Amino acid sequence: MSRYLDYSSPKLKVNDVKVLPPPKKVFFSELCRRFKVCGGPISPFGLEDAFKEQFKVGYKGNSTVCLGGRVVIGQTWNVASTATMTMLPGAFYMCCVVPRALPDDGWYSLLGISSRIMSWIIFITFILSSFSNPGIVPRNADRPRELEHHLDLRGNPAHRYLRINDKTVKQKYCLTCNVYRPPRSKHCQFCDNCVLRFDHHCTWLGNCVGLHNYRYFVTLIYTTSIYVMQCIWVICHLLGEGPSADGPLMEVFGPFIEEPKLILLLFYCLVLLVAVLLLSVYHTVITLQNLTTNEHVKNYYRDNPFDFGPLANCRQIYCMPELVLATGDDRIEADYVPFGTFSEPLSFDDC
């Protein structure tokens, strides 16, 4: 799995510091070993020996988990409806609109090549975002015995406090999954699972967006934004090349009569552009600050312990998402009493 799970171990000793060195570089032979016939790396999803003892049940919840945790099927109706609303207009654009705008060299032109490339990127990242494991935390069958001495007045495991980057965050115990939620995790009410580095539950994808599929989601919305801009430009170009209208009234309503499908597609693209462009700008801003949507909306931090600067944040999120901290070693220090740096407004209350 991910080293995020090391922070959830019930065996963490009070006032004991566990240091995790940076992960080893993955060379070609090791990379081939990790990737099997069914596709997808084993280490981020499969329950390896290091975690089999800690998690006695594995995957449950409302999502269907296949191929050892590599594939997660959430709300299939949501995925099917989104695919229908996007793929059908996209197919009409590629088959009926783009050929009319292609220059003499046809599909080998810049417009033809870029349209095909972006179409495939959107299709692949949509599939990966919808059906990849976002980082579901495996469950325990029962409460770990190590926590019997750390119960609150209701008989549930008490909150635990972690010192991360010299800042203290609160770590809650999930009564459904019987685990301490790793840092930045949240139990999704739709999927009924704790998800590592939970960003949000995407209704359009029918799946959570988390640690392992966030990169696919961001690539999807960035590429879609550029692609829709290109669609709008091509449609406006075709409408501008139409026959000249007689009279000012026909100049306004002529395209609606002569090219109603193009006009409908143009309005559809304009609405879609507003949505995906706002998403792209928003996720750019929170990525530079190393925040998730969940953290940003709930204003968890006044002083973010995971923020190491825009460059280090982007490198961690897009290149090394398995890391908890963008730079340095992971120093895991837990206690059931708040550290000196803790104050309620500055804590990660839903960790």
**Structure-token match 């975002």, residue found:** 129
41 touches 216 (CB < 8 A): no
The answer to whether 213 and 128 are in contact (CB under 8 A) is: yes
Instruction: Point out the catalytic residue in the list 202, 231, 269, 351.
Output: 202
| Helices 310-319 + 260-288 axis angle, to 10 | 110
d(C-alpha 302, C-alpha 105), whole Å: 56
* Backbone dihedral angles phi then psi of residue 56, each to the nearest 5 degrees: -90, -20
**What is the rounded CA–CA span in Å between residue 46 and residue 308?**
30
Residue 20's SS3 state is strand
Q: Give the list of residues 6+ apart from residue 3 with CB closer than 8 angstroms, or none.
A: 20, 23, 322, 323, 324, 330
Neighbours of 140 (CB within 10 A): 17
User: Cα 209 to the chain's mean position, in Å?
Assistant: 3
Active site residue 202: yes
First to last CA, the chain: 18
Helix H or strand E segment including 164:
strand 160-164
Phi, psi of 95 (to 5 degrees): -90, -30
Which element (helix H / strand E) includes 72?
strand 71-73
Tokens of 216: 């696919």
Full DSSP string of 215-230:
HHHHHHHHHHHHHHHH
Rounded-to-integer distance, Cα 52 and Cα 56, Å:
7
Give catalytic residues, as residue numbers. Answer: 202
